[in-house]
Amino acid sequence: MISGPRILLVEDDEDDVFLTKAYLDESFGKSYSFEHVSNLPDALRRAKESAYDVFLVDYRLGSHNGIDFIQHINRDLKLMVPVILLTGQNNRETDISAMEAGATDYLVKQNIDARALERSIRYSMKQKQAEEHIQFLAYHDALTGLPNRTLLFDRLKTILARFARNKHYSSLLFLDLDNFKNINDSLGHSVGDALLIEITRRLNEVIREEDSISRLGGDEFIVLFPEISRNKEETAVKTQKAAERIIHSINQPIIVGSEALHIGTSIGITLFAGLDTTSPENILRHADTAMYAAKSAGKNTARFFQHEMENTVKSKLTLENELRKAISENQFEILYQPQVCVNSEKILGAEALVRWMHPEKGMISPVLFIPSAEQSGLIHPLGELVFRAVCNDLPNFSDIPRISVNISAKQFHALDFVEKIDGILKEYDASPEYLELELTESALLADIDDTALKMKELKDMGFTFALDDFGTGYSSLTYLKKLPFDVLKIDRSFITDIIENRENAGIATAVIALGKALHLSVVGEGVETAHHLQFLKDEGANSAQGYYISRPISATDLVTWINQRIAC
């Protein structure tokens, strides 16, 4: 069995062939493979037909030379095989021209012996292996070995060009694992990496030999199905079945160490034909858009790209860009909605609410821009902007016991959240004793133990906490038992039709009773009528806020509103 290098010698001098073969025998014994040709055409034919580890090429080959050979295998055959030029000329110009052409090494025949030749061959092979590894890493993912984005785009261009004439439809699936970040954060990156490797193995099991998988990075994979059918509907049906097989395969438990992991995937699908219909960039963008539609549909499912989705994405992108500009130019206004005692209607506090005053579109509802801020990460600078504005207004509110500020889940779980809050307090010389931080249930879901530690740190600084929108999410009593809340807020959806809807009335009554049992202050939101206020009073709630009491108003108007009530 041949274990050594496979060598092709291109040499037209029989004495040099004999001598070179003798050196190779001395160096490698019987463990190498040797072939010999004497001219350039035969050398190129052999190089094309057979696999070699190294070429030994005479610099002079009749009307040709070794540099011609190098250029042909690099340009035409695209072989990454080391070439060692052998020459009788010991001059600098020949050396330089050989290296510039791409020779791995350059040996003067008069100086060659068995040791020098072996060293050159082994060095050249190792150098080419290193180059091949670098080349592989340039086009492949280091963890899974899958093609990366660069190689994916090359393949897409090839497919588009190849099938432009016959109009065969192909499909591309954009996979994003559901809740992968939770596994990575809770169990560590080594577990996450093992999971990604197993996902790669499963994907390879369920695709055809002619299909391909790529990894874009993180938990994003691409599955490419080339030339499925001339019929678009048939292509869609076959792709849907393939997506279902993928989802089923990934849904099976994945054992990593002692952990049995369960994960799903959201898949975006786009169909495409030739270059005249689309581009690699559009294909990936369309599949990405469809993937987000699958996420919005509840995850662990597949969705096909529709052009209506693209319009939605463009609108969201426009909103995000305008929001980014709005934050830098501070196009926001902070309004305050008073909270009063249900018995005395004495002012107990106010909730700070942010409004976007667009210079051309007027006021944009928080229902539109807050989700965009959350998804884009702009919630961090926006939240900081709001907190600064409240701290700046705080000295004007001497007659208000506390001001509530909404904190998003992403804000709260940022590593530097407490540090930033503390810095802003010091900057404005604001006292946290007059500030209440409102958290929604979504802010608590990620890690309740981490949430408890962070809340305790903030409580020690002097903040109070309100649990906002209680009853609309997962509503676990664990939150109220383990977390140091001071206030429980009944969501407005239960208050709005509390008179007509007995179920909502029952929920509101239960929340008030729960708050009293846990010694929490209960606030009813969305109070729009005297009946709403009376209900809260009868059931024993502490305070209320809503349009019946006051609409959200500016800091100046809030001071005026309080002074008028005091005067009465």
Residue 514 lies in a domain: no
Give Cβ neighbours of residue 177 (< 8 Å, ≥ 6 apart). Answer: 199, 219, 250, 263, 264, 265
- Predicted confidence band at 134 (pLDDT cuts at 50, 70, 90)? confident
Same domain, 135 and 153: no
Average pLDDT over residues 392-401: 93
Residue 443 is inside which H or E element, if any? Answer: helix 442-445
Q: Is 540 part of a structural domain of the chain?
A: no
In the chain, the number of structural domains is 3
**Domain identity same for 170 and 268:** yes
Q: Is the dihedral of CA 95, 96, 101, 104 positive or negative?
A: positive
Q: Are 515 and 484 in contact (CB under 8 A)?
A: no
DSSP designation for 553: B
Q: pLDDT value at position 251?
A: 94
What's the pTM?
A: 0.56
Say if residues 568 and 374 touch (Cβ distance below 8 Å): no
Q: List pLDDT tens digits, range 145-155.
A: 888 888 888 88
Q: What is the pLDDT of residue 567?
A: 60
Q: Which of 262, 153, 271 is nearest to 214 (CA)?
A: 153
Window from 129-143, 231-245, 337-351, 370-384 with minimum mean pLDDT: 129-143
CA distance linking residue 546 with residue 498, whole number of Å: 14
Q: In this structure, is residue 270 part of a structural domain?
A: yes
Q: 107, 139, 171 — which closes off a domain?
A: 139
- Tokens representing 18 are 């004999």
Asked whether the predicted pLDDT for residue 462 surpasses 90, the reply is: yes
Are 201 and 218 within 8 A, CB to CB? no
Residue 243 near residue 269, CB atoms below 8 Å = yes
| pLDDT beyond 70 at 476 | no
Residue 440 lies in a domain: yes
Specify whether 202 is located in the same domain as 163: yes
The residue among 158 and 201 whose pLDDT is bigger is 201
Comparing CA positions, the residue from 241, 246, 243, 275 lying closest to residue 168 is 275
Is residue 534 situated within a structural domain? no
Residue 441: predicted pLDDT: 75
Q: What are the pLDDT digits (tens) for 279-300?
A: 888 899 999 999 999 998 889 9
Looking at the fold, whether 328 and 427 belong to one and the same domain comes out as: yes
283 with 399, same domain: the answer is no
Euclidean distance between CA atoms 124 and 134, whole angstroms: 15
* Helix or strand (DSSP H, E) at 62: none
Residue 491: its pLDDT value, please?
86
Q: Which CATH number belongs to the domain containing residue 259 in this structure?
A: 3.30.70.270
Buried b (16+ CB within 10 A) or exposed e, 432-470: bebbbbbbbbbbbebeeeebeeebeebbeeebbbbbbbb
Last residue of a domain, one of 305, 338, 372: 305
Strands of 132-258 (E only): list them: 169-178, 212-217, 220-229, 254-256
Question: What pLDDT score does 156 carry?
Answer: 83
- Residues 249 and 202: beta-carbon distance below 8 Å: yes
Q: Which helix (H) or strand (E) holds 435?
A: strand 435-440
Contact between residue 225 and residue 243 where contact means Cβ atoms under 8 Å apart: no
Single residue among 305, 339, 368 that ends a domain in this structure: 305
| pLDDT value at 62 more than 80 | no
403 and 428 fall within a common domain: yes
Does any domain span residue 379?
yes
- For residue 340, give the CATH number of its domain: 3.20.20.450
Give the chain's mean pLDDT.
87
- Nearest CA-CA partner of 375 in 345, 398, 409: 409
State whether 285 and 324 are in the same domain: no
Q: Which residue, among 209, 244, 224, 223, has the nearest Cα to 169 in the 3D structure?
A: 224
Task: Write the CA distances from 190 to 193, 195, 265, 414, integer angstroms.
Answer: 5, 9, 20, 23
CA 542 to each of CA 423, 504, 562: distance values in angstroms, whole numbers, following the listed order: 33, 18, 19
Domain range enclosing 236: 149-305
Q: Are 101 and 67 in contact (CB under 8 A)?
A: yes
Any bridge partners for residue 351, and if so which?
337, 404
Instruction: Name the CA dihedral angle for 542, 547, 549, 551, rounded to a multiple of 10 degrees.
Output: 120
The confidence score (pLDDT) of residue 256 equals 86
Please report the pLDDT score of residue 155 as a whole number: 82
316 versus 36: which is more confidently predicted? Answer: 36
Residue 470 has pLDDT above 80, yes or no: no
CATH of the domain at 68: 3.40.50.2300
Q: Check pLDDT > 90 for residue 482.
A: no
DSSP letters of 238-291? Answer: HHHHHHHHHHHHHHS-EEETTEEE--EEEEEEEEE--TTT--HHHHHHHHHHHH
Position 471 confidence tier, pLDDT thresholds 50, 70, 90: low
Distance CA 257, CA 164 (A): 48
> Which position has the higher pLDDT, 368 or 159?
368
505 within some domain: no
Please report the pLDDT score of residue 129 as a whole number.
80
**510-529, pLDDT tens digit by residue?**
889 998 988 999 999 999 99
Query: Looking at the structure, do residues 255 and 300 belong to the same domain, yes or no?
Result: yes
Residues 462 and 435 in one domain: yes
Do 376 and 480 belong to one domain?
A: yes
Same domain for 384 and 237: no
Angle at 410 between CA 408 and CA 413, to 5 degrees: 105
Please check the confidence at residue 534 and state whether its pLDDT lies above 60: yes
Same domain, 239 and 377: no
- Whether 310 is covered by a domain: the verdict is no
- CA–CA separation, 196 and 76 (whole Å): 38
